[in-house]
């Protein structure tokens, strides 16, 4: 399939091939798991505020449903394409299996710059996209969630559009919803909280005290900002953060609560807040920080900059931030990598909690959610660490092998239909 052949999809397949080879995965299964189970491309005509009709392209890809409904976010970004969505769907399959969630992987997206739309245009586009992918989604089939460029409001519109089609309220069709529609406490911060929990485990394993830990974070959206806040609460020094416009640096540590207050309450850029010295995204990645957390887009750490990285721990908040070539360089340098499918799995773990609460119509406390998240993600971290030692392989390979093994067992036990 030519449309799949993009950088990000090649990265996902190359990682899968490496893991499949190391675990001597059944060759027939390998062919199947390299490709998505279903891919839908939709055209989304939208009435713009000025009376024109603009047609956007959207996607929903389900990589695997052998272990349960598929699960994965919806991304609104100008670079969205079928290959990227398919790669993200494949990573979701391994991520859900690694965490032991009863889901397969999916992903969706629309090629659009969401900030260029008015709220009314965004709502019309979201509703038409949801109507176009309606045949694929549902609480027992495929459950979307927010990703880059989408939020709880977008999920509320998807939930409403789906519910209008079937004639009754179906909160379990999406996760990451507002609380008033059956959202879960703790979902918004879940990915950042999960990144923080696994980073703290890694520091404990490496015997680095949190008081001596400095952290640099690329990306200050949902994942980056909550990670910064929680890591600082735990005692780490956040020395730099960045967004698409650039970043700020303060070797003594940024005042994160004040930064969040200024950044969220106005349209100030990070640099405008004057809480640190201006730095570029490229400079941030190469800072002398104990922990580097990429929490923006994929393929930020490549063979061009990997050798210059100075971190001891790389915790991948973003999906696919490190290329294969960079992986090898970092491994040689002895950087401890917490791979994306483990590091950022807090989001889908609490999405799973939200779905369970919606199906049961019974809601949990914030403390229940934090404890259960910590329990699941910490166990996944230790399973991965154990496998990496046992098989003498990287944390990335160990996480992939663990996830792929669960999916392979499900396929082999179900058998090939018909
Ligand atoms: P977001 O849209 O809330 O934030 C993205 C951030 O990245 C923003 O600060 C943006 O300014 C910045 N950014 C965009 N382009 C950039 C560039 N070229 N250089 C530097 N910064 C740039 O998105 P998010 O939900 O925080 O997701 C971030 C990453 O985490 C994505 O890779 C996403 O797939 C992954 N992720 C998100 C979740 C979740 O629950 N939101 C869960 C798992 C993984």
**What is residue 54's three-state secondary structure?**
strand
Which residue, by CA, sits nearest to atom 13 of ligand 1? 244
> In angstroms, what is the span from residue 346 Cα to ligand 1's centroid?
15
CA distances in angstroms from 210 to 182, 213, 234, listed in the order given: 36, 5, 7
**What is residue 56's three-state secondary structure?**
strand
DSSP state of 355: H
318 lines ligand 1 (CB under 6 A): yes
Of the pLDDT bands very low, low, confident and very high (cuts 50, 70, 90), residue 268 is confident
> Hey, which residues does 75 pair with through a beta bridge?
109
114 lines ligand 1 (CB under 6 A): no
Tokens encoding 184: 């879960």
Contact 352, 371 (CB under 8 A): no
- Rounded Cα distance between 293 and 351, Å, is 22
Quick: pLDDT tens for 368-407.
Answer: 999 999 999 999 999 999 999 999 999 999 999 999 999 9
Q: What is the mean pLDDT of residues 208-215?
A: 97
Of the pLDDT bands very low, low, confident and very high (cuts 50, 70, 90), residue 277 is very high
Of the pLDDT bands very low, low, confident and very high (cuts 50, 70, 90), residue 333 is very high
Q: Match 């100030």 to its residue by tokens.
A: 268
Percent of the chain residues past pLDDT 90, beyond the cut: 97
Of these residues, 28, 34, 71, 107, which one is catalytic? 107
Among 43, 56, 40, residue whose Cα is nearest residue 117 = 56
- Rounded Cα distance between 288 and 293, Å, is 13
The bridge status of strand 237-243 relative to strand 214-218 is parallel
Which residue, by CA, sits nearest to atom 22 of ligand 1? 244
Task: Provide the pLDDT for residue 3.
Answer: 81
344 lines ligand 1 (CB under 6 A): yes
315 lines ligand 1 (CB under 6 A): no
* Pocket test residue of 184, 269, 297, 340 for ligand 1, highest count of atoms within 8 A of CB: 297
Tell me whether residue 317 is exposed, middle or buried, using C-beta atoms within 10 angstroms of its C-beta: 0 to 12, 13 to 18, 19 or more: buried
Q: What is the mean pLDDT of residues 28-52?
A: 97
Give catalytic status of residue 107 as yes or no: yes
- Helix H, strand E, coil C: the string for 300-352 is CECCCCHHHCCCCEEECCCCCCECHHHHHHHHHHCCEEECHHHHCCHHHHHHH
295 lines ligand 1 (CB under 6 A): yes
257 sits in which H/E element: helix 256-265
| pLDDT > 90? residue 144 | yes
347 lines ligand 1 (CB under 6 A): yes
* Pocket test residue of 94, 195, 295, 350 for ligand 1, highest count of atoms within 8 A of CB: 295
244 lines ligand 1 (CB under 6 A): yes
Which residue, by CA, sits nearest to atom 43 of ligand 1? 344
Which residue, by CA, sits nearest to atom 14 of ligand 1? 244
**What is residue 44's three-state secondary structure?**
strand
Of the pLDDT bands very low, low, confident and very high (cuts 50, 70, 90), residue 267 is confident
Instruction: State the pTM of this model.
Output: 0.97
């Amino acid at each position: 399939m030519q449309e799949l052949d993009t950088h990000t999809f090649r990265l996902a397949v190359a990682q899968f091939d490496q893991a499949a080879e190391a675990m001597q995965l059944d060759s027939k299964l390998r062919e199947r798991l390299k490709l998505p189970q279903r891919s839908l491309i939709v055209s989304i005509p939208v009435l713009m505020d000025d009376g024109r009709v603009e047609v956007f392209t959207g996607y929903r890809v389900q990589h695997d449903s052998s272990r349960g409904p598929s699960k994965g976010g919806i991304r609104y970004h100008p670079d969205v394409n079928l290959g990227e969505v398919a790669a993200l769907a494949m990573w979701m399959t391994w991520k859900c299996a690694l965490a032991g969630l009863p889901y397969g992987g999916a992903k969706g997206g629309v090629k659009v710059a969401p900030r260029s739309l008015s709220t009314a245009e965004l709502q019309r586009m979201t509703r038409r996209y949801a109507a176009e992918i309606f045949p694929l989604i549902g609480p027992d089939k495929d459950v979307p969630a927010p990703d880059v460029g989408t939020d709880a409001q977008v999920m509320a519109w998807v939930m409403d559009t789906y519910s209008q089609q079937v004639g009754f309220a179906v909160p379990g069709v999406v996760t990451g919803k507002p609380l008033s529609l059956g959202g879960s406490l703790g979902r918004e911060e879940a990915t950042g909280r999960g990144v923080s929990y696994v980073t703290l485990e890694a520091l404990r394993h490496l015997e680095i005290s949190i008081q001596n830990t400095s952290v640099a974070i690329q990306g200050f959206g949902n994942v980056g900002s909550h990670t910064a806040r929680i890591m600082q609460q735990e005692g780490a020094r956040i020395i730099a953060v960045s967004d698409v416009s650039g970043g700020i640096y303060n070797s003594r540590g940024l005042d994160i609560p004040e930064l969040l207050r200024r950044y969220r309450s106005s349209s100030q850029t990070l640099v405008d807040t004057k809480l640190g010295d201006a730095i570029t995204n490229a400079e941030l990645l190469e800072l002398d920080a104990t922990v580097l957390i990429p929490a923006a887009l994929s393929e930020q750490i490549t063979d061009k900059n990997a050798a210059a990285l100075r971190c001891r721990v790389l915790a991948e908040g973003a999906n696919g931030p490190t290329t294969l070539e960079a992986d090898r360089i970092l491994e040689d340098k002895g950087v401890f990598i917490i791979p994306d499918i483990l590091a950022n799995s807090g989001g889908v773990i609490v999405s799973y909690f939200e779905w369970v609460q919606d199906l049961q119509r019974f809601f949990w406390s914030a403390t229940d959610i934090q404890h259960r998240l910590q329990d699941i993600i910490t166990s996944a971290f230790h399973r991965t660490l154990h496998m990496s030692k046992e098989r003498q392989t990287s944390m990335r390979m160990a996480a992939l092998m663990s996830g792929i093994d669960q999916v392979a067992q499900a396929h082999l036990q179900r058998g090939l239909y018909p």
